[in-house]
Amino acid sequence: MSRIESTTFRDSFSVSFTVGLYGTAFGAAAVANGFSVLQSCLLSLLTFSGASQFAVIGVLGAGGGAISGIATASLLGIRNGLYGVIMAPRLKVKGVKRVIAAQITIDESTAVALGQEVRGESAMRQGFWLTGFGVFLFWNLFTVAGALGAQAMGDIRVWGLDSAVPAAFLGLVWPRLQSNKDRILALICVVFALAMTPILPAGLPIIATAFIAVVVGLSK
């Protein structure tokens, strides 16, 4: 393996393994929120997008309906579509390979690929595939572990799992709060969602904040 490839490999592996570990938190949280072990594993295999997966289990766990859960998860999944737009001209694949590439188009595979830009287009492709497959492997393995673990735990509050889920969301949103505008938006959405919780059916206060994001995005 050349020096360029080993750097790409190291980047891909460290991201894959670290991110994959969070699969434990997802599997445990899914079971804690009422999903079966099988459903938790299917979400990791088929949805394969951390934020969307946490969102759907979060909404249903809070008493929201399936449609609210699907809508919130899907709004978070839109960005994977945009990553696909960025990656497609660089990957140049068709047919079954394009289907596989689409499934592993997530934050991490796109980020590592873009991080290899200085090393050329073939390093970008390697970074994308290695990270995509790597995260897929570890994320799914650790989801099974977390789901089985949580199933064995019984009352999740005894283990603090009911706080681990919002803490995981906080960990996901934290790095995105780069500017004051981002922080103000976050604060508005927190206040709005809490104020609407006793009024709107469960799940809707969360989805409704997407419209606040659109309004803030359009106004500048």
Partner 1 sequence: MNAFWVATIGTSVIAFALKYAGHNVPEKIFAHPKIQSINALIPIALLSALVAVQTLSEKSKLMIDHRLAGVGVAMLALFLKAPFPVVVLSAAFTSAAIYNWL
Contacts with partner 1 in 112-131 (CB under 8 A)?
none
Q: Which is nearer to partner 1, 113 or 168 (CB)?
A: 168
Q: Could you tell me which stretch among 7-15, 41-49, 120-128, 139-147 binds partner 1 (CB under 8 A)? A: 41-49
Which of the 8 DSSP states describes residue 46? I
Q: Which is nearer to partner 1, 120 or 217 (CB)?
A: 217
164-171 long-range contacts, Cβ below 8 Å, gap at least 24? 164/25, 164/28, 164/29, 165/25, 165/29, 165/32, 165/33, 165/54, 165/57, 165/58, 165/61, 168/22, 168/25, 168/26, 168/29, 168/54, 169/54, 169/58
Q: How far apart are CA 11 and CA 18, in angstroms?
A: 11
* Measured CA angle at 190 (ends 186, 193), to 5 deg: 130
Question: At its nearest, how many Å lie between partner 1 and the CB of residue 190?
Answer: 4
Residue of 4, 98, 111, 144 that binds partner 1 (CB under 8 A): 98
DSSP SS3 for 74 = helix
Q: Which is nearer to partner 1, 2 or 219 (CB)?
A: 219
Question: At its nearest, how many Å lie between partner 1 and the CB of residue 2?
Answer: 29
Q: Which is nearer to partner 1, 52 or 116 (CB)?
A: 52
Q: Which amino acid is at 36?
A: S
Cα 156 to Cα 36, 62, 77, 163: the distances in Å are 14, 15, 28, 10
Q: Which is nearer to partner 1, 4 or 193 (CB)?
A: 193
Residues 195-214 interacting with partner 1 (rule: CB under 8 A): 197-198, 201-202, 205-207, 209-210, 212-214
Q: Could you tell me which stretch among 3-11, 58-66, 118-126, 138-146 binds partner 1 (CB under 8 A)? A: 58-66
Count of other CB atoms within 10 angstroms of residue 100: 15
Q: Could you tell me which stretch among 6-14, 50-58, 117-125, 143-151 binds partner 1 (CB under 8 A)? A: 50-58
Residues 123-182 interacting with partner 1 (rule: CB under 8 A): 157-174, 176-177, 182
Which of the 8 DSSP states describes residue 116? T
Q: Could you tell me which stretch among 60-68, 111-119, 122-130, 137-145 binds partner 1 (CB under 8 A)? A: 60-68
